[in-house]
Structure 1
């Protein structure tokens, strides 16, 4: 732990606005909504006209997206006219083949035939900014908003039914670790891109149950379709995946769900809107206009009365290109788990876009950036760059532009806004706590780690 000896916790507290307890949104400190009552939405009472002083410097931007529920608010903002309402009439959404393509396309930018920004797993914007995953080419980016929470899970191939693979796998740890001796190969698990969200979710799940994801199993980055085929033929055992894949895996009897990420970390941060810093710096008014449109779309998405239309739009050929019935259950919070597990029937267990019982969904809390980078340190990712928490603090402060989010929200007339850049202490399903004021204590408390 010698690298952490010189951490200035007080400096981080001042910079990130952390506090010992969570500072929740006004009006969100009561009891969580029931299974049938949605989290409150807060759409502006009247349209916010674009005044002369607010006119965007440009009306066009090219944003990349992956066809999963995390991109829904961006799609709705374009299709329902929320971007246009604030003057961004030329927003182009570009479907990306995979995360590597999105990374490569933002590196070259829209001027080179790529994209200006879009939807990202975390901490990809920080890694791209530092040139860590772009062959040393630094492309500064800004995190501008969180797109959603939840909507992910851990899927297990059907051959493992009845082996105790649920949220807590402590009783199945020996089965998993003994797989090579019994089957001639290690237990094989996958995610869609290394060192980001879905990699972190499955690593946390394995390690909480006493399984070392680097030594006890084979953990790979594999495209979803290839993973699902492997689960069909018995060569892939587990998959960290997002909606609508969990429904398809269970409905097609490919396997079952061990856990939703909602069970691992309730109302956890998921994916984010991030844009190249050079575009934002050149177009600050357009950036805020884009954020206003996105925020209003997020509020629209959280209204259950709109979710049938959301499904109809996003499932269409131009976007997700899947049957509407596959997308409908997650938006109702209906998850059939399989393997004898109780189903979920709670709208708050599925993807949320504007608010949840813990606070804001859309606001990019710096404390969450800190967790993603701390988890990167935990697993020894990018150890030549992430050397201590002073470096991590610098990365968070240079990439996270929550100030622009707040400016846009206030200009648009939205209320119940966060008053701290920290959501406070986070508690995981295994009892581990992450206190943004003392990230080193979180690392110390973990049994399985590389640092």
Structure 2
């Protein structure tokens, strides 16, 4: 290693299933094989992760895929250039609604609720309209952070039925480990989060899964490996070794025979502190958690293009944002390729696919029209 003979680094994670590469790289000895001494640190919220990266309390972390873009743009409360060195997982999210909201939907739009999952967003639109007409309090739906796949997933689903997420409901932020408690206590009516917190609410009988991430976009990038631009520049060999260790863990995690052991390890109080059977229930869902196959680890710049377009669409970022320039700066395909090649792992030659090439949802004129019509009705 050129950076240090045996680098010691601090890597953060939030207790969600997609922290698995960070955890399993330690449990499998992958960090040690790459000559690294890694201290993994469990954090309580994405705001904590953001702040600790900015203050160099963490060297790298499991982080929401859009958040490095927001931090580099300077549109969050913290402004610091952060890169995405690799994607850690695609898929894995779901939107869970409280059982009381589910009953409201059954009363307001029984034919839509009975149609099964994925739930038609018009069912929740009917509740929103009924509450507005009677002067009842608006629905409160939570995501884990303003710059998150969960926030954009919820917004896309609501707007598909003409619900304006900035006007017709109240959007809240709740850290992933607290979502079940907030739903149980009635502080929110639903939440969008990574597993196992959706399965947990269903198991407790307090919530029902309405839609999953793949219902919106099969293959949506979820969490990535983030570090500040300056740390990456000052520690290129250490970062490359870290990526290689995580690739090894991702390869292991994608083997079906290893999923029961992954569930057992992740259920530990040190990590997710959740019953192993809940972990296994979600890890066993076919194609729901993808850690490495189909170029899942590659930091596609076209993914960044899509997230940045969402930031512009929802007025989080200026309309004149140079999407390509920001995506190229933050999603570092060059760093990932160098590490992957050393591991003998294939990765795409192109940095981007054309719009729609990942199967991602694209805005339509119909959605805009429906949203305007709904606002006139309520």
Q: Above 0.5 in TM-score?
A: yes
Question: Are 1:392 and 2:340 counterparts?
Answer: no
Deviation at 1:300, TM superposition (A): 0.4
SS of alignment partner, residue 273 of structure 1: strand
2:225 corresponds in structure 1 to 273
CA distance in 2, matches of 1:306, 1:254: 30
Decide whether aligned partners of structure 1 residues 392 and 248 sit closer, same or farther in structure 2, where only a CA change above 3 A counts. same
Contact 2:89 2:222 in 1 (8 A): yes
1:177 maps to which of 105, 129, 140 = 129
SS of alignment partner, residue 89 of structure 2: coil
Deviation at 1:294, TM superposition (A): 0.7
TM superposition score normalised by structure 2? 0.88
- Kindly provide the CA deviation profile for residues 23-78 of structure 1, in whole angstroms up to 9, marking residues without a partner as x: xxxxxxxxxxxxxxxxxxxxxxxxxxxxxxx5553522111110101110111112
Deviation at 1:424, TM superposition (A): 3.9
CA distance in 2, matches of 1:83, 1:428: 31
Question: Are 1:311 and 2:263 counterparts?
Answer: yes
Contact 2:177 2:197 in 1 (8 A): no
2:89 corresponds in structure 1 to 148
> Which structure 1 residue ranges, 5 or more long, are not aligned?
1-53, 334-346, 435-441
* Pairing of 1:9-408 with structure 2 (within 5 A): 57=4, 59-88=7-36, 90-109=37-56, 114-135=57-78, 138-159=79-100, 160-161=102-103, 162=106, 163=109, 164=112, 166-182=118-134, 184-224=136-176, 227-333=179-285, 347-348=286-287, 350-355=288-293, 359-383=294-318, 387-389=319-321, 391-408=322-339
CA distance in 1, matches of 2:64, 2:364: 22
Decide whether aligned partners of structure 1 residues 422 and 445 sit closer, same or farther in structure 2, where only a CA change above 3 A counts. farther
Deviation at 1:444, TM superposition (A): 5.9
CA distance in 2, matches of 1:107, 1:121: 15
Contact 1:302 1:354 in 2 (8 A): yes
Decide whether aligned partners of structure 1 residues 251 and 260 sit closer, same or farther in structure 2, where only a CA change above 3 A counts. same
CA distance in 2, matches of 1:156, 1:428: 28
Deviation at 1:219, TM superposition (A): 1.2
> Which structure 2 residue ranges, 5 or more long, are not aligned?
373-378
Deviation at 1:373, TM superposition (A): 0.6
CA distance in 2, matches of 1:221, 1:289: 34
Deviation at 1:225, TM superposition (A): 5.8
TM superposition score normalised by structure 1? 0.74
- Size of the aligned set, in residue pairs, is 358
Contact 2:70 2:147 in 1 (8 A): no
1:421 maps to which of 344, 351, 356 = 351
Deviation at 1:213, TM superposition (A): 0.6
SS of alignment partner, residue 221 of structure 2: coil
CA RMSD of aligned residues (A): 2.2
2:376 corresponds in structure 1 to none
Contact 2:83 2:229 in 1 (8 A): yes
SS of alignment partner, residue 219 of structure 1: strand
SS of alignment partner, residue 257 of structure 1: strand
**Which structure has greater helix proportion?**
2
CA distance in 2, matches of 1:372, 1:443: 16
Contact 1:64 1:115 in 2 (8 A): yes
Deviation at 1:314, TM superposition (A): 1.3
CA distance in 2, matches of 1:204, 1:427: 18
Contact 2:267 2:273 in 1 (8 A): yes
